[in-house]
Amino acid sequence: MPGTHLTRRLLLAALAATPFAPRAGAQAVWPNRPVRVMVPYPPAGGADTTARIVFAKLGEMLGQQFVIENRGGAGGTIGEAVVAKADPDGYTVLHDATAFSVNSSLYSNLPFDYGKDFDPVALVSLVPNILVVTPSVPVKTVADVIALAKAAPDGIDMASSGNGTLQHLSLEMFRHRTGIKISHVPYRGGGLALNDVMSGQVKFFFANGSSVVGLIQGGKVKAIAHTGKGKLASLPDIPPVSDTLSGFEAYEWNGVFVPRGTPASIVKTLNSSLNAALRAPNVVSRFEQLNIDTRTTTPQEFRAFVQDQMALWSKVVKDANIRLG
């Protein structure tokens, strides 16, 4: 009947115009609101720099804000504890560094467990250290540094950016591999250490490969070798330490983690989006300027990488008998 058909058409039109409420338990598309990115270190450092480059690009790609929150202190463990206790809903992520793979060997009685409270998402960056020296010191190669140390009754002095930092661990690994005497001079940050290396107060330092480029190019410090592989994009004439000490590698790496239990679909989206951001031409160009290498990884590959790093640094910490708490 005509009236019946009209009523039916009106009903269908009304249903089509009415938004359906999501089923109970259905998950909204992620992200549909700003995401907090915890950087457990102070602003302007290496982890903060890479986070701001990558997550700015991620925000452009996903159409949502990724808000950097710096919560430094205690080697990163303060900010890490915040993320470990956060809701696993994808709206709090951790952008961490090498310390994530070291702290469990340095600190006891932490309020969280690195192996149980976080899910790895993706490796973001790898930055080697660069062994630098006061320009007036008569050395040009790693072999020269070793010879100088062995010829001096008290060995050499070497700065670090603090006890338990990657720069300190690189020093200890260098000491162990070469058998030379090194007087460790810890500073409260790499900037202060570099100031004293420039002035000659302390002669040697494994500096972060991003922060020291300008000083090397300006002749303020002299570069001997780097702790990565192959050539550095911005400093191609500097050889790797491994040319002299086979297998010697040390990286300040950054990577992204989420609280354990975050939905697999969110982890998958975040991983694929981060990998796409790392391939973006403007990110690649900026990273090359800073001597930052990248690798695209799956969550499983990144988990294996972190486990390898934990094994490496726990041995260095144990051999050097380092304990911070």
Q: Is 185 found in the same domain as 104?
A: no
Domain assignment of residue 285, yes or no: yes
Q: For the segment 10-22, what is each residue's pLDDT rounded down to a tens digit?
A: 444 444 444 444 4
Task: Give residue 20's pLDDT.
Answer: 42
Which residues of the chain have a pLDDT value below 50? 4-26
Please report, for the domain that includes residue 65, its CATH number.
3.40.190.150
In this structure, are 194 and 167 located in the same domain? yes
List the one residue out of 296, 8, 245, 314 whose CA is nearest residue 124.
296
Please give the span between the terminal C-alpha atoms of the chain, in angstroms, as a whole number. 84
Instruction: Residue 163: give its domain's CATH number.
Output: 3.40.190.10
Q: Do 104 and 151 reside in the same domain of the chain?
A: no
The predicted pLDDT at position 299 comes to 98
Residues 139, 207 within the same domain: yes
pLDDT in the model for residue 15: 42
pLDDT of amino acid 2: 52
The burial of 20, by beta-carbon neighbours within 10 Å (0-12 exposed, 13-18 middle, 19 or more buried), is given as exposed
For residues 153 and 161, is the Cβ–Cβ distance under 8 A? no
- 3-class DSSP state for residue 142? helix
> Which domain does 45 fall in, by range?
35-126+251-320
113 and 143 co-located in one domain = no
- 195 within domain boundaries: yes
171 and 107 share one domain: no
Out of 243, 276, 292, a domain closes at 243
**Domain boundary at 181, 213, 243, which?**
243
Whether residues 63 and 166 share a domain: the answer is: no
pTM: 0.85
